[in-house]
Amino acid sequence: MIENVLENVKCINCSSDNYKIVFNSDYSNFKTEEDFLKVYSSSSDQVLYDQLVKCNKCDLSYLNPRVKEDIIMESYSSAEDDTFFSQNPQRIRTFSKSLKKIISKNNITASKDKKVLDIGCAGAAFPKAANDLGFTVTGIEPAKWLANKGRETYKLDIRPGILLDHHFDDKTFDIVTLWDVIEHITDPAQTIIEIKRILKDDGIFVVNYPDIDTWPCKLLGKKWPFYLSVHLFYFTPKTIREYLNKFDFKVETISPYYQTLELGYVLKRAESYFGFFKYFRKAVELLRLDKLPCTYYIGQTLVIARKK
């Protein structure tokens, strides 16, 4: 029974368990628990099977019930993904551009005595970009395979595990980042409290998340690519502001985030949602345009917050 691997949760923002259902769950494709867990991995293209609810008290959307926490953690630590890693050159370019913008807007100058921490750094694309700009960088990644691959490829300080496994001194970092990570953490509270402790008083906290209050989400409905079984929370500018505020972070800016990856890869991902992209991708491959950089926006949102 698939129900055996699920658990009920309350709203992480206001602790209420009073909600309305946005999407019903659909586990009809899965005959066994094993079937279900097989598709459950952090870089999975699988659409949302779980029930999505919206809190009646604070409007936060979240999966409920959802896969049990220990199963989620195990699936992350054992994830391996070569296709994902192959896109790193494009990711590094995007991160480099974004980081330059972020530091110039926030009057930060890159130097070796400025420390950056990237939590959930995947294949270390952001640590690589930050290192190349002149920062001293540490990355943390639960997927052991990705952490090793990132460390060996770029010779950087990339540590396996989650933030709470590592003990950093108070006020160590100038910049702490969570790129597409907050929606994966089963209870982000402990992580955010720890970030506040290790961030310098004038440091910035960068959070990038998929926003359900954006036009791509509204337009695509349940076919929005960020509706995934591994995305446990669906923030909006209102709910992310409220949530970070609870931990004494003040949100300074919220803006759309444009991502650049290779056209062939973007179309291949799009194919799992809309079959007709297959023909487009084949044409692009014939024309040898599949390696072309493709900049797209599907609702990723960038938050800059500071300690109050």
Determine if 111 is a binding residue for Zn ion (CB under 5 A): no
CB 14 to Zn ion: min, Å:
3
Nearer of residues 55 and 92 to Zn ion, judged by Cβ: 55
**Per-residue contact string for residues 14-43; x = within reach of Zn ion by CB under 5 A:** x-x---------------------------
Among 18, 32, 38, 57, binds Zn ion (CB under 5 A): 57
Among 11, 48, 140, 182, binds Zn ion (CB under 5 A): 11
Q: How far apart are CA 79 and CA 67, in angstroms?
A: 16
Among 5, 6, 52, 55, binds Zn ion (CB under 5 A): 55
Q: Which residues pair with 255 in a beta bridge?
A: 302
Nearer of residues 42 and 61 to Zn ion, judged by Cβ: 61
Q: How far apart are CA 130 and CA 135, in angstroms?
A: 6
Is residue 256 reached through a cis peptide bond, with omega within 30 degrees of 0 on the bond before it?
Answer: no
**Near Zn ion by CB under 5 A, which window of 3-11, 101-109, 243-251, 256-264?**
3-11
Helix (H) or strand (E) run with residue 63 in it: strand 61-63
For 305, the 3-state DSSP assignment is: strand
Separation of first and last alpha carbons in the chain: 47
Beta strands in 211-276, from DSSP E residues, in sequence order: 233-234, 249-256, 259-262
**Near Zn ion by CB under 5 A, which window of 12-20, 105-113, 131-139, 285-293?**
12-20
Nearer of residues 14 and 217 to Zn ion, judged by Cβ: 14
For helices 144-154 and 125-132, what crossing angle results, to 10°?
A: 30
Give the torsion sign (CA, 207, 268, 282, 86): positive
**Near Zn ion by CB under 5 A, which window of 1-9, 10-18, 178-186, 241-249?**
10-18
Determine if 13 is a binding residue for Zn ion (CB under 5 A): yes
Residues near Zn ion (CB under 5 A): 11, 13-14, 16, 55, 57-58, 60
